[in-house]
């Protein structure tokens, strides 16, 4: 049995809110490892599709940037992100888990620790952009499709690195690219420990400007044997073998969300987590500043937002190092 996991991030560039590292983990039966990674879009085509437009009501699984909608549209901006993440997450929980949830239930299921700052305290009822009954139907349809295809979603996970920890890690490593990459390697190490008895294939979106990864992997796992399978312009593949003989294949792919469904779903999971945390932040400051326009946290608008809430920051003695990223 193949364990097929994807890792991707959301929130690398913003000034406000967490950096989120998403991970989706699948098991795939009856897969020939010599044929490369399986195409889960094809295996699950009766329940999932790429892109937002599908007349058959299938779940959109794609790069999160392609799925978030615009404000003022017919659907909630998070409709497709939420529908996909909650439907897949629902297959890992009890059958009627979706019937009564709020954001803290989702974050707990994703093993995402909510930061303890006051601007993250208010919970949000879910779903935001889909009828619960329809969401339950979509999740049940997905569950049947995966069963028929010999595919199981083992788990969705998300690690949150909020501004205070992000700033500490940037000070330690010297740059935010290293903070992101170390978080990715932590996910890989967790997968290797959990699935050491299985054939493990981890697929990861390309990391910043890196085009080769062997030295980084050897530094992370100095006692492992590392075989370079491919180091092309847009694809790098490696085979790691521990002293005990446990093996793991790691692929870094440019445009990975278009090549591997687990990366696309990891991207969606990370983005949805970040959006839930930003909803909480905006609710806190809007309550203190009626009429405040919410922010997605990206640099230019974050500066406007920080000017608008400056009085609240001073009045409540908020430490900016806990709220605002250093880079």
Mean pLDDT of 86-108: 92
Structure tokens given for 70 = 């615009």
Rounded to a whole number of angstroms, the distance between the first and last alpha carbons of the chain is: 42
Domain 2-278, CATH = 3.30.420.10
- Whole-model pTM: value is 0.96
- Spacing of C-alpha 246 from chain mean position: 26
Note the pLDDT tens digit of each residue in 46-82.
999 998 888 888 999 999 999 988 887 788 899 999 9
Structural domain spans, the chain: 2-278
Contacts of 99 (CB under 8 A, 6+ apart): 132, 136
Structure tokens given for 149 = 């295809």
Q: Rounded distance, CA 148 to CA 41, Å?
A: 14
3-state secondary structure of 192: helix
- Per-residue model confidence (pLDDT) at position 34: 66
Note the pLDDT tens digit of each residue in 246-303.
889 999 999 999 999 999 999 999 999 999 999 999 999 999 999 999 999 999 999 9
């Amino acid at each position: 049995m193949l364990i097929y996991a994807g890792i991707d991030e959301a929130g690398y560039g913003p000034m406000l809110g967490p950096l989120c590292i998403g991970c989706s983990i699948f098991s795939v039966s009856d897969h020939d490892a010599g044929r490369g990674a399986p195409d889960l879009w094809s295996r699950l085509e009766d329940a999932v599709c790429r892109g937002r437009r599908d007349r058959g009501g299938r779940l959109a699984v794609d790069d999160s940037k392609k799925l978030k909608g615009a404000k003022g549209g017919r659907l909630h901006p998070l409709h497709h992100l939420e529908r996909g993440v909650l439907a897949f997450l629902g297959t890992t929980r009890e059958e009627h888990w979706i019937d009564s949830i709020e954001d803290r239930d989702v974050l707990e299921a994703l093993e995402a620790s909510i930061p303890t700052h006051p601007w993250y305290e208010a919970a949000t009822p879910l779903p935001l952009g889909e009828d619960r009954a329809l969401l339950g139907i979509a999740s049940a349809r997905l569950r049947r499709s995966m069963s028929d295809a010999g595919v199981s979603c083992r788990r969705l996970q998300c690690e949150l690195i909020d501004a205070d920890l992000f700033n500490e890690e940037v000070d330690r490593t010297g740059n935010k690219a290293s903070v992101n990459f170390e978080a990715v390697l932590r996910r890989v190490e967790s997968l290797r420990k959990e699935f050491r008895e299985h054939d493990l294939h981890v697929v990861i979106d390309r990391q910043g400007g890196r085009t080769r990864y062997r030295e980084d992997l050897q530094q992370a796992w100095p006692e492992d044997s590392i075989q370079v399978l491919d180091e092309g312009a847009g694809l790098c593949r490696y085979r790691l073998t521990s002293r005990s003989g446990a093996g793991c294949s790691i692929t870094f792919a440019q445009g990975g969300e278009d090549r591997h469904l687990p990366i696309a779903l990891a991207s969606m999971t990370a983005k949805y987590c970040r959006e839930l945390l930003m909803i909480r932040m905006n609710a806190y400051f809007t309550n203190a500043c009626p009429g405040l326009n919410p922010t997605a946290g990206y640099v230019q608008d974050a500066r406007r937002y920080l000017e608008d809430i400056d009085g609240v920051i001073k009045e409540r003695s908020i430490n900016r190092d806990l709220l605002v990223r250093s880079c």
